[in-house]
């Protein structure tokens, strides 16, 4: 299993000099299992991934499963700019919850006039949409487990169980609700890699971010230690947190748990 980060920022892109080491694109993570490609979220990092795939698959079909955690802007902004969606014979299977509305409708509305110059009909790749709720499903040579996280309008967390290891993607989750706290710990149980929301500093969260649907690094450490996950990757960095701030977060978190790092664009983890 190879995990690569294409977008690690929360809320809005931050293309600033002080953010260059960790990156300013919003949520997108690629997972490769042999020849199989899985993508988590379609933030602005999705565009950069599309450029790379276009170069890699010249003359060949791009086929991927795309898991969308929820429909907030920072998780779908890159969709209209993902070049492989405009080209045949590429094929993409989208998996998400339609509790509020379907992903296809969300994308149609995002690209409708006057918000974007071309519509969804311009995309020539084959697109299929599958509805998800909490549970387990078999996919290729792995099992995908899903669970709801604590976030306004909902957010889905994902666990991939494979012969190579277990990967968990749990972005956009606020601590404090017993049911959701249990959900995320079950999802992360024994995982080799846990990617978890650490948008705020603990002091920021307590001072005025309660109810906003995000976590902080101290809770991330609690989750990894209580779930038995092996490695913690802090994710969904706040737009106001520059490289120096994130460095400090990693240093402080490592005082509690040794195997912790912050996600950065281009970072790869191989299991």
Residue 224 has, within 13 A of its CA and on its CB side, a CA count of: 28
Tokens at 57, concatenated? 């698959």
Residue 171 has a pLDDT of 97
Q: How far is CA 225 from its chain centroid?
A: 21
Is 90 exceeded by the pLDDT of residue 247?
yes
* pTM, to two decimals: 0.97
Residue 60 has a pLDDT of 95
Residue 54 has a pLDDT of 96
**Residue-range definition of the domain harbouring residue 19:** 2-270
The predicted-structure confidence for 216-233, as pLDDT tens digits, reads as follows 999 999 999 999 999 999
The predicted-structure confidence for 65-109, as pLDDT tens digits, reads as follows 999 999 999 999 999 999 999 999 999 999 998 777 888 898 899
Average pLDDT value for residue range 266-271: 98
Per mean pLDDT, which range of 96-100, 136-140, 255-259 is the poorest? 96-100
Q: Where residue 100 sits, what CATH number does that domain have?
A: 3.60.15.10
Residue labelled with tokens 């649907």: 213
Average pLDDT value for residue range 167-188: 97
Name 105's Cβ contacts closer than 8 Å, sequence gap at least 6: none
Residue 98 has a pLDDT of 73
Residue 103 has a pLDDT of 85
8 Å CB contact between 67 and 95: yes
Average pLDDT value for residue range 49-77: 97
Tokens at 181, concatenated? 């706290």
Using DSSP, state whether 129 is helix, strand or coil. strand
Counted domains in the chain: 1
Q: How far is the C-alpha of 173 from the C-alpha of 230, rounded, in Å?
A: 20
- The bridge status of strand 2-7 relative to strand 28-33 is antiparallel
Using DSSP, state whether 72 is helix, strand or coil. coil
């Amino acid at each position: 299993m190879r995990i690569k980060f294409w977008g690690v920022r929360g809320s809005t892109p931050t293309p600033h000099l002080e953010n260059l080491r960790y990156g300013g694109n919003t949520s997108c993570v690629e997972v490769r299992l042999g020849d199989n490609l899985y993508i988590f979220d379609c933030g602005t990092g999705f565009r950069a991934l599309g450029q790379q795939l276009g170069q890699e698959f010249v003359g060949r079909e791009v086929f991927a499963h795309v898991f969308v955690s929820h429909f907030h802007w920072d998780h779908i902004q890159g969709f209209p700019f993902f070049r492989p969606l405009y080209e045949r014979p590429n094929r993409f299977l989208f998996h998400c919850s339609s509790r509020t509305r379907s992903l296809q409708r969300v994308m149609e509305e995002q690209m409708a006039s006057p918000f974007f110059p071309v519509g969804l009909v311009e995309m020539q790749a084959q697109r299929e949409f599958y509805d998800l709720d909490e549970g387990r499903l078999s996919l290729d040579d792995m099992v995908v487990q899903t669970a709801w996280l604590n976030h306004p309008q909902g957010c889905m967390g994902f666990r991939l169980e494979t012969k190579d290891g277990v990967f968990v993607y749990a972005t956009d989750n606020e601590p404090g609700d017993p049911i959701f706290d249990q959900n995320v710990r079950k999802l992360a149980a024994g995982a080799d890699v846990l990617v978890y929301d650490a948008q705020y500093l603990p002091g920021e969260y307590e001072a005025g971010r309660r109810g906003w649907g995000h976590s902080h690094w101290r809770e991330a450490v609690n989750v990894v230690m209580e779930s038995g996950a092996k490695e913690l990757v802090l994710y969904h960095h706040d737009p106001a947190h520059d490289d120096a701030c994130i460095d400090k977060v990693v240093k402080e978190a490592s005082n509690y748990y040794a195997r912790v790092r912050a996600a950065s664009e281009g970072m790869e983890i191989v299991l």
